[in-house]
Amino acid sequence: MTYRQKLYIRTFGCQMNVNDSEYIVGQLEQLGYSTTEDILKSNLILLNTCCVRAKVEQKIYSLIGKIKKIKESKPDVLLGICGCMAQKEKENIFERAPHVDFIFNPSQVNNLEKIINTVKYSDTKYISCGDALKFSLKHLPIKRESKISAWIQIMRGCNNYCSYCVVPYTRGPEQSRGVSEILSEVNSLAQNKYKEIFLLGQNVNSYGNDLSQSVTFSKLLELLNDINGIERIRFTTSHPKDFSFDLIKTIKNCHKVCNHIHLPIQSGSSKILNMMNRKYDIDYYMNIIKEIRNNIENIAITTDVMVGFPGETEEDFMDTLDAFKKIEFDEAYTFIYSNRENAIASLLPEKVPLGVKKERLWKLIDLQKEISTKINKKLEGKILEVLVDKKSKKHIENQFSGRTGNNKTVVFTGKQNLLGQLVKVKIIKSSPWTLYGELIK
């Protein structure tokens, strides 16, 4: 009987972290591990962490605390903490949780063989939070979660230093992957019947700025658009300050590039945007939205927004509500400002009380819900093309879900297995977040 090592991995945070976990699992499978969903059956526990807001960090510390019991009853189990919180907290994690065995940061994600072989045979704690420079994913084994849609990191890190944000400190400076490396990866995904690629970067619009080859994000999209077999190209995130007219033209002209732009606004107040170091004001943002809508038909625009940034007055918040009413986003991810020690905004004195922040959050959520309801209602009766990517979560037999080009989730029933297919669905009913429809033959 061969004895297989079992890995339990839990991932927090953004798509970049989800994709990093796919690389972690890919490497560990080559080292003889298989994954388990049952933490009690594992002999290696990895938490791939996030620290963008304090709440997620608290949740992770509390989970680490609970794992102590498992370590007490099974001392051979190894516990590792990786991801952004590992980089932010470093040795503090050992101090707060001495039962943690090892820590590595996001730039060590391509180094699992060395890390695991070191910690397995060592009885001291191990930490690897080295430099993010010269990071490479080339030829790295990967175990993708989906066989239909594949995440592709086109760049890592961030140079923008928004005053509230920890990401530049956890993921280091921007580093773009070479064009030929990305193209060869996507070509091989197409050969393996992948239908969609989802390009990832903290700020995809600055793709190529750090490469010696002269290449822009638009150019990369054009090259990817020519790859046979791939039907859809998505990307996130775009920073408004770098959103070029050239990119608008490319999205319009490349038919595989989906009609969806995620463009974080963060605030509707120019005063707050300035304090956030976002490098645009609200007029500039509104103008991009206008250009996008004038040029690309049927485009969905989604956003990230924050309430309660230090110094945000009632008037500033009204500016955010006002911008939301004028723009009418398809969807918005709404956050309460969270103080992050590493980020400059933590030094700003005028903190907004939690009660006020919560009140503003709910006002904004309610407004957005009204807007999303209205936008989705208009789709009732329409026939939309859907890439089927999931069996319904509710486990109702033959219920599938997929997404339209402009990123609406559509739930419908089909007779045979439709996973991975592009189908036409007539929308019968809508909610602010989901559309329900009937499959058209």
- Can you give the binding site for ligand SF4, defined by CB under 6 A? 158, 160-162, 165, 167-168, 202-203, 239
- Does 17 participate in binding ligand F3S (rule CB under 6 A)? yes
Contact code string over 320-339 relative to ligand SAH, x by CB under 6 A: ---------------x-xx-
CA distance 111 to 211: 23
Q: Which DSSP category does 39 fall into?
A: G
Provide the CA 141 distance to its chain's centre, in angstroms: 21
Question: Which of 9, 60, 103, 165 is the binder for ligand SAH (CB under 6 A)?
Answer: 165
- Does 14 participate in binding ligand F3S (rule CB under 6 A)? yes
Min separation Cβ 88 and ligand SAH, Å: 12
- Does 81 participate in binding ligand F3S (rule CB under 6 A)? no
Min separation Cβ 208 and ligand SF4, Å: 17
Question: With contact defined as beta carbons under 8 Å apart, do 17 and 54 qualify?
Answer: no
Residue 161 contacts which entry, ligand SF4, ligand F3S, ligand SAH, none (Cβ below 5-8 A, type-dependent): ligand SF4
Residue 338 contacts which entry, ligand SAH, ligand F3S, ligand SF4, none (Cβ below 5-8 A, type-dependent): ligand SAH
Q: What residue number has its CB nearest to ligand SAH? A: 304
> Residue 263 half-sphere exposure, CB side, CA atoms within 13 Å?
29
CA distance 201 to 243: 14
Contact code string over 287-316 relative to ligand SAH, x by CB under 6 A: -----------------x-x----------
- Does 268 participate in binding ligand F3S (rule CB under 6 A)? no
Residue 53 contacts which entry, ligand F3S, ligand SAH, ligand SF4, none (Cβ below 5-8 A, type-dependent): ligand SAH
CA distance 99 to 78: 9
Give which of 91, 41, 85, 43 is closest to 63, Cα–Cα.
85
CA distance 131 to 134: 8
Helix (H) or strand (E) holding 370: helix 354-377
- Does 220 participate in binding ligand SAH (rule CB under 6 A)? no
- Does 52 participate in binding ligand SAH (rule CB under 6 A)? yes
Contacts of 351 (CB under 8 A, 6+ apart): 310, 339
Contact code string over 178-207 relative to ligand SAH, x by CB under 6 A: ------------------------xx----
Question: Which of 21, 153, 218, 237 is the binder for ligand SAH (CB under 6 A)?
Answer: 237
CA distance 335 to 332: 10
Question: Which of 171, 177, 232, 408 is the binder for ligand F3S (CB under 6 A)?
Answer: 171
CA distance 382 to 304: 28
Please identify, among the stretches 66-74, 114-122, 165-173, 410-418, the one whose residues bind ligand F3S according to the rule CB under 6 A.
Answer: 165-173
HEC string of 98-159 equals: CCCCEEECHHHCCCHHHHHHHHHCCCCCEEECCCCCCCCCCCCCCCCCCCCEEEEECEECCC
Q: Mind giving me the DSSP string for 210-265?
A: T-SS---HHHHHHHHHT-TT--EEEEE---GGG--HHHHHHHHH-TTB-SEEE---
Min separation Cβ 203 and ligand F3S, Å: 11
Q: Can you give the binding site for ligand SAH, defined by CB under 6 A?
A: 52-53, 164-165, 167, 202-203, 237, 239, 264, 266, 304, 306, 335, 337-338, 340
Q: Can you give the binding site for ligand F3S, defined by CB under 6 A?
A: 13-14, 16-17, 50-52, 83-84, 166-167, 170-171
